[in-house]
Amino acid sequence: MTKPDSQKSSTDSRVSGEDGRRILRRDPRPHLFRPISFRSVETRNRIMLSPMCQYSAVDGMPNDWHLVHLGARAVGGAGIVCTEAVHVAPHGRITQHDLGLWNDDQRDALARIVRFVSAQGAVPAIQLGHAGRKASVGRPWEGSGPVTPLDGGWETVSCSGLPYAAAWPAPQPLDIDGIRAEIEALAQATRRAREAGFRILEIHAAHGYLIHQFYSPLSNSRDDLYGGSFENRIRFLLESLDAVRREWPDDLPLFLRLSVTDWVEGGWSMDDTIRLVRILKERGDVDLVDCSSGGNDPRQSIPIHPGYQVPLAQKVREATGMATAAVGLLNAPDLAESIVANGSADLVLLGRGLMADPHWPLRAANSLRAADVSWPVQYERSNIF
């Protein structure tokens, strides 16, 4: 597994000068463009396409849009190209237009994308998720509000019967058999992700979706083994990780996206995250924590600005020794470089920035004067970089 300070030790070397003194030779490459390894997987740089829903699937099936969208980011130089949230069950989709991995046809269609992304030198990654009580909503350009069963939606489930917001329907609380069924669906989706050829798996446990609903006291009002105490509220997450690791090879990395704070008084906090990540570090099944925040309560108050979540990733990294990823408005190459160079995080995730410019990594490499960057030979004569 990767150590958080690995980029400092693996790229510098000491040699002897003519007078016998030891000279430290530093890697001339920008930190953003130095490889990093997680278990058996090495990435060509520290840039990862953040999972960004495209709301363009039919019955959970990927299509040419997904191939071109993800393939273009691989061609554009990202080190890790991650799918949008791929849902483990039909009722776990955010919208009816989201990707799924509950059948083999979906697996086979995703495998086509995996092959193309890999052929461009990027590491193919997949994020698996379940929206819980935040499922069955419209697409952003349709208002993102709840969609009723009469309009093509479905009944949602969660740890408790608490709705996300006042105007939202109350979800059906999962009983023990229901919890086991959701965890098994995650395990089977993990198996299919492995069979499709993905090299990194990320579990979506953030942004107010099902796993987050369990661990946050704002959404969990249970009084059994899955509610109440901190240990009980994280039980669903830990059992989910156990199920995933039974299907995901030991030599392949497992990432976990967390909402590090709810940004609401009385909700999940940074202290809770550090406590959880120390447990994960001791268990050894998670290789990196993707540090996001919020999404579980409309009362949240988030101080949004470029790099606003970087301190979250840095604090988790420093307090636990776990590798972390920073995400959120990191579109300036100098900012992205400083995050890795200063040890604030091990990876930089770009979502909207890479949506707007699939060649952001190549442009950043030029801006940071990176050498030995792999450029698509088909585009070299454009002289636009």
Q: What are the per-10-residue average pLDDT scores of the chain (385 residues)?
A: 45 51 66 97 98 97 98 97 98 98 98 98 98 97 93 96 96 98 98 98 98 98 98 98 98 98 97 98 98 96 94 98 97 97 98 95 92 81 65
Region of 369 on the Ramachandran plot (φ > 0 left; ψ -120 to 50 alpha; else beta)? left
Counted domains in the chain: 1
pLDDT score recorded for residue 377: 86
d(CA 240, CA 182) in angstroms, rounded, equals 9
In a domain, 17, yes or no: no
Cβ–Cβ under 8 Å, residues 236 and 169: no
d(CA 172, CA 157) in angstroms, rounded, equals 5
In a domain, 156, yes or no: yes
pLDDT score recorded for residue 381: 78
Annotated catalytic residue 55: no
Two tokens, residue 210: 């099902």
The boundaries of the domain holding residue 221 are 32-370
The active-site residue, picked from 209, 215, 226, 308, is 209
d(CA 186, CA 315) in angstroms, rounded, equals 30
This model's pTM is above 0.85: yes
pLDDT score recorded for residue 382: 74
In a domain, 377, yes or no: no
In a domain, 384, yes or no: no
In a domain, 83, yes or no: yes
CATH number, residue 85? 3.20.20.70
pLDDT score recorded for residue 9: 38
